[in-house]
Amino acid sequence: MKNQILTSKELNELKNDLPLWQIQDSKLIRDFHFKNFIEAFAFITKVAIIAESMGHHPDWYNSYSYVQIKLASHDLGGISNYDIELAHKINDIE
Amino acid sequence: MKNQILTSKELNELKNDLPLWQIQDSKLIRDFHFKNFIEAFAFITKVAIIAESMGHHPDWYNSYSYVQIKLASHDLGGISNYDIELAHKINDIE
Amino acid sequence: MKNQILTSKELNELKNDLPLWQIQDSKLIRDFHFKNFIEAFAFITKVAIIAESMGHHPDWYNSYSYVQIKLASHDLGGISNYDIELAHKINDIE
Amino acid sequence: MKNQILTSKELNELKNDLPLWQIQDSKLIRDFHFKNFIEAFAFITKVAIIAESMGHHPDWYNSYSYVQIKLASHDLGGISNYDIELAHKINDIE
């Protein structure tokens, strides 16, 4: 399936589809807290492998046991169906 | 604590202390099975970080969702207190 | 391209195509030596990400700064075109 | 050596000691650009292993082939000797 920006209708449905993710500045954002750095980094490693397999990568930030993931399709200027797919895959591994 | 080879008495106690680990050829061995490669590799990554922090590293083998870990102190020619410590840390993260 | 076992002719050409890899027991094998564990593990991480992206995974063994990679298509019972492709990708990252 | 905040004199010397790092908001900051995501992530993995071994962790941000590392001792409220040590170790592996 081609990567394309979500319609307003699809964006409105995200609240139900991905309740753990916030929409800010045209990005899907989720915060993760782990018990220590090693658990946080193992999670990061899983996301890295999944992202490269999809050919679609997150922006992310890590500080010790805290990870923030931001999903957006920079080339399309907003949230796309690939971002939704990656968000679901990240939910599944967490 | 200095790294030193276990006494026969300590080796005999391993069966109770580390029941999930087998002793073969003067090595502590445990097999791990995960649901897929990503889970197996996240586990390996945790072990890698812990091992480097201890300055004591396992020998390990991976084939898709299967991981085998072998612990021994090559320089001492057998199982040492560092191997016991690493085995416990690996048990804790799994 | 479908994954299929190499013909005898293709196997004979491997010596020229992949001179750093040995053929043993119907597997493609290469040894790698790094300056320390961290370098070895960074290499392993690259191979893990590439393998999952291909949906084709190596068997491998690590002991501190030493990594051995074995490539074979277990389901096909020998070396396949996917193994050749993965061997080249591993050569490229090393 | 105890972790302690740098004196003004030590902060002034950082420009010579760590010319690739900028000081902003009481943090040591360096940007890294790699050829692709896999290389960026292998670098992050090395930093992760080193950080856990030191018991001193960076804040970092990654977007595809770009990595930004920020070093500060949050508990001390500024840049410390551990941050300097970690910056040098990161320089060495890059």
Distance from CA of B12 to the nearest CA of D (A): 32
Residues of C with CB below 8 A from B61's CB?
Answer: 59-62
ipTM of the complex: 0.94
Name the band, by pLDDT with cuts 50, 70 and 90, for residue B5. Answer: very high
Predicted confidence at residue D3, as pLDDT, reads 87
Is B61's CB within 8 Å of C57's CB?
no
Q: Is the pLDDT of residue A29 over 90?
A: yes
Mean predicted confidence (pLDDT) in C32-42: 98
pTM of the entire structure? 0.96
Is D61's CB within 8 Å of A60's CB?
yes
- pLDDT above 90 covers a percentage of chain C that reads 89
Q: Among the residues of D18-56, which ranges form H helices?
A: 37-54
Q: What confidence tens digit (pLDDT) does each residue in D8-26 have?
A: 999 999 999 999 999 999 9
Residues of A with CB below 8 A from D39's CB?
Answer: none
Q: What are phi and psi of D85, to 5 degrees?
A: -60, -45
Predicted confidence at residue D2, as pLDDT, reads 83
Helix (H) / strand (E) element for A81: namely: helix A81-93
Name the band, by pLDDT with cuts 50, 70 and 90, for residue C51. Answer: very high
Domains of chain B, first to last: 13-93 (3.30.1360.20)
Mean predicted confidence (pLDDT) in B78-84: 96
Q: Is the pLDDT of residue C17 over 90?
A: yes
Q: What confidence tens digit (pLDDT) does each residue in D68-92 have?
A: 999 999 889 999 999 999 999 999 9
- Exposure string over A24-63, b if 16+ CB within 10 A, otherwise e: eeebbbbebebeebbbbbbbbbbbbbbbbbeebbbbbbbb
Measure the N-to-C terminal CA separation of chain D; round to a whole number of Å: 25
Name all chains with 3 or more CB-CB pairs below 8 Å to chain C: A, B, D
Q: Is the pLDDT of residue B94 over 90?
A: no
Question: Among all residues of chain C, which has the CA nearest to that of A42?
Answer: C45
Mean predicted confidence (pLDDT) in C77-87: 96
Predicted confidence at residue A1, as pLDDT, reads 72
How far is Cα A26 from Cα C12, in angstroms, rounded to an integer?
55
Angle at A75 between CA A73 and CA A80, to 5 degrees: 30
Closest CB from A42, A49, A50 relative to B46:
A42
Q: What confidence tens digit (pLDDT) does each residue in B56-75 have?
A: 999 999 999 999 999 999 88
Residues of C with CB below 8 A from A48's CB?
Answer: 49
| Backbone conformation region of residue B22, classed left if phi is above 0, alpha if psi is from -120 to 50, else beta | beta
Name the band, by pLDDT with cuts 50, 70 and 90, for residue B48. Answer: very high
Query: Any bridge partners for residue C27, and if so which?
Result: C24
